[in-house]
Amino acid sequence: MLQVNHLSKSFGGVHAIQDVSFSVRGGAVHSVIGPNGAGKTTLFNLLSGIYVPSGGEILLDGQNVAGHSPDTLARRGMSRTFQNLQVCMNMTACENVMLGAHLRTRSSLVGGMLGTTRRADAALRDEALRLIDYVGVGAHAGAHASQLSFGMLKRLEIARALAGKPRLLLLDEPAAGLNDTETHEITELIRQIAASGVTVLLVEHDMKMVMNISDHILVLDYGRKLAEGTADEVRANPQVIAAYLGAEVEEEGAA
């Protein structure tokens, strides 16, 4: 589904991403890991059109989309969440999710005044309510986002991303700031999303989650690809252990 070839991004003299190549197979869960400053979020910003690459290709279904705008990529089936929540706190949970479907609506001011879009608006609301229930926040659909817990807001943002009906979903640290129970819930939700046919590309620091959920893992270090492979292959890679995982892998292996 996604093929990245020799991707690079520089900010002045700083090489945030350097000659990174990898592929994402459709229907799987792929993870990107690495220490702080490795370039993970920069990579996501390149893939989702927020940054324009300094070099290289991003092929989505075989077509180079490097430098395309986020809305263009969303129309082509790519949605994302953010490390720092991008939620409208003065809107209800349902309204936030409805925003995620704006590219699929044809409502207009005139149509709203004439009442011709009411059926479409009702269908959109029904779909938003279904997605809110799907992510486990259904009991709070009418509550303002400001009233929801941090864990609920994380799931709400995933629901909004799903409202765009993506084929490729980019999740930027979905478990950051969550307790063990909330992390387990997010993990199971990601499993459900992947099982439904949506390909997932994930950036995450929780190694237990990454190792349990990933079909394939890409490891970055100082903006370069350090290693990639299955969870077992990455877990056993001496370079990865030295650069990032360290004692965590040894402890999990002993367990």
Encode pLDDT of 66-125 as tens digits.
999 999 999 999 999 988 888 999 999 999 999 888 766 655 544 554 555 666 678 889
Q: Which of 84, 43, 76, 79 is nearest to 169 (CA)?
A: 79
Strand partners, 225: 220
Domain holding 202, by residue range, is 1-77+167-255
Domain boundary among the residues 122, 141, 165 is at 165
Same structural domain for residues 3 and 70?
A: yes
- 164 within 8 A of 103, measured Cβ to Cβ: yes
Distance in angstroms (rounded) separating the CA atoms of residues 218 and 239:
13
Report which of residues 244 and 85 the model is more confident about.
Answer: 85
> Looking at residue 111, what is its pLDDT?
52
> Looking at residue 12, what is its pLDDT?
87
Q: Is residue 82 part of a domain?
A: no
Q: Is residue 227 part of a domain?
A: yes
Same structural domain for residues 25 and 95?
A: no
Report which of residues 252 and 153 the model is more confident about.
Answer: 153
> Looking at residue 122, what is its pLDDT?
83
Q: Is residue 13 part of a domain?
A: yes
Q: pTM for the complete prediction? A: 0.87
Same structural domain for residues 121 and 138?
A: yes
Residues 6 or more apart whose CB falls under 8 angstroms from that of 125 comprise 94, 98
Q: Is residue 49 part of a domain?
A: yes
Number of domains within the chain: 2
Mean pLDDT of 186-212: 94
Same structural domain for residues 73 and 172?
A: yes
Same structural domain for residues 94 and 127?
A: yes
Same structural domain for residues 171 and 251?
A: yes
Residue-wise pLDDT tens digits, 163-197: 999 999 999 999 999 999 999 999 999 999 999 99
Same structural domain for residues 72 and 173?
A: yes
Q: Is residue 83 part of a domain?
A: no
Distance in angstroms (rounded) separating the CA atoms of residues 196 and 166:
11
Same structural domain for residues 42 and 125?
A: no
